[in-house]
Amino acid sequence: SSLGLGPVGRDPLASAASGGREPPSSPSDAMDSYEDPASKRARLDDGPSEADILRLVAQRESYRQSRQFDKSDAIREELRNMGVELYDKEKEWRCRDGRRGTLFTAGPMECMLADHEIQDRINQREDARRSKDWGRADMLRDDLRAHGVELDDKHSSWATSSGRSGTYSGQPSAAPRAAAQLSSHHIRKLVAERERLRATQDFELADELRRQLATMGVEIFDNDRTWRSADGQRGVIITGGHEVDCLLTDADIHYRVMQREEARSAKDFNHADAIRDDLRRQGVELLDGQRLWVTTDGRQGHYTGGSAAAQTPNLAAYGQPAQTNQQLAAGLAAAFLGSQATQQQQALGGRLPSSPITNNPSAMTLQTASIVALVVGREKARDTHDWASADAIRADLRTHGVDVWDKEKVWRANDGRSGTINR
């Protein structure tokens, strides 16, 4: 039965549940009125919290629904400037700091409506749609979104930010309960089995296994090589179905990825494929389209095309123990950064910047690998707004005859060595 909604869908139950406050009259009002401590802390740090991201996502969705695409595109650009990319097809947002989450378009606030109240509004909306009363249907949809309920007309289902969900018919969603019974270990095994079936070109069984995973609330994203469950678990898809924990260090992975890029640059594709397959056997998947490597334990990193072939150390040690590879990786990284510095020098008009630090010799000289490690550590501190640590590292570098220029993105030592600063 109807709750007798007024022109904006207000009712006394929602008002009482919200502590006597009137519920918001529109999605944009709801977004503007919502505040939480995490969001405030994030603003102080000049970084977007998940609440900030979802608030903008909800505003964008309101503009899309009202066909104000110029405003929705402006919000998407605002998010990009904050380091957040939206993937509408996959219903996911991804931040450049590695965070990602569901593209929930009803905002970050907790829904205060009971399930039966949500269902009553959905029933009213479905009645309006059947009678082609699109104005009332849209009003009810916007009212639900203002209360933190997202509607999925394609699958006839609804969901809230806290994980409650249901179907338009009133039946509870089965997928979240089934997914909750599957551990990450079991999902990984099923995903790996599907990859082994695909490797043997048994696509019929592979597709059937994908359908079974979908009924258990697990989505497969082959292009991104990731899987995600309805209860928030996620993982990496390793081509070939290798079930391993990645034991390689980041330095090992960077070294081997650079080997592969050099082989690809030299058109030695057999060697490049061999390195890629070896990385997969050790729990590392390469996403060439995104220039990204990911591991089964959740680590990831970016890579670029090979450009240091003439300066690379002897690559014959590929496959040696991790400690040896770490040493070689440091040397390779130093050579690569030196090559980048040459490119940076050309971009700066043929000369690198200098300072009193770099113009005076010093007995306290650091190895190139140590400089690179300190520069990378300083950039990580700056990324997390740990300015005290960043300044301390810069002071330490200067005492060893190394200066950095953030605007030019270059470091230089007083003995002539230099390299680029990558953020």
The pairing of strands 149-152 and 418-420 is unpaired
Q: What is the pTM of this model?
A: 0.37
CA 364 vs CA 99, 128, 354, 388, 398: distances in Å: 40, 78, 18, 23, 10
Cβ atoms 338, 311 nearer than 8 A? yes
End-to-end CA distance of the chain: give it in Å, rounded.
58
Residue carrying structure tokens 């009133």: 170
pLDDT at position 363 is: 52
pLDDT at position 284 is: 92
CA gap 139, 121 in Å, rounded = 10
What would the two tokens of residue 172 be?
A: 């509870």
pLDDT at position 41 is: 36
What would the two tokens of residue 323 be?
A: 């400690």
Burial class (CB in 10 A: 0-12, 13-18, 19+), 196: middle
Cβ atoms 369, 386 nearer than 8 A? no
Residue 110 per-residue DSSP state: P
Residue carrying structure tokens 């916007």: 142
Residues 6 or more apart whose CB falls under 8 angstroms from that of 83 comprise 48, 95, 96, 97
The per-residue pLDDT string of the chain (423 residues; one tens digit each, 9 = 90 and over) reads 333 333 334 343 333 333 444 444 444 444 444 444 334 333 334 557 777 888 888 888 888 877 888 888 999 899 888 888 888 877 788 887 777 777 777 777 778 888 889 999 999 999 999 999 999 998 998 899 888 888 888 888 888 876 778 888 887 654 444 444 577 888 888 999 999 998 888 888 888 888 888 878 888 888 778 888 887 788 889 988 888 888 888 878 888 888 898 888 888 999 999 999 999 999 999 988 888 888 888 788 888 765 433 333 333 333 334 444 444 444 444 444 444 444 554 555 556 788 888 777 655 566 777 788 788 888 888 888 888 888 888 888 888 888 998 888 888 888 778 888 876
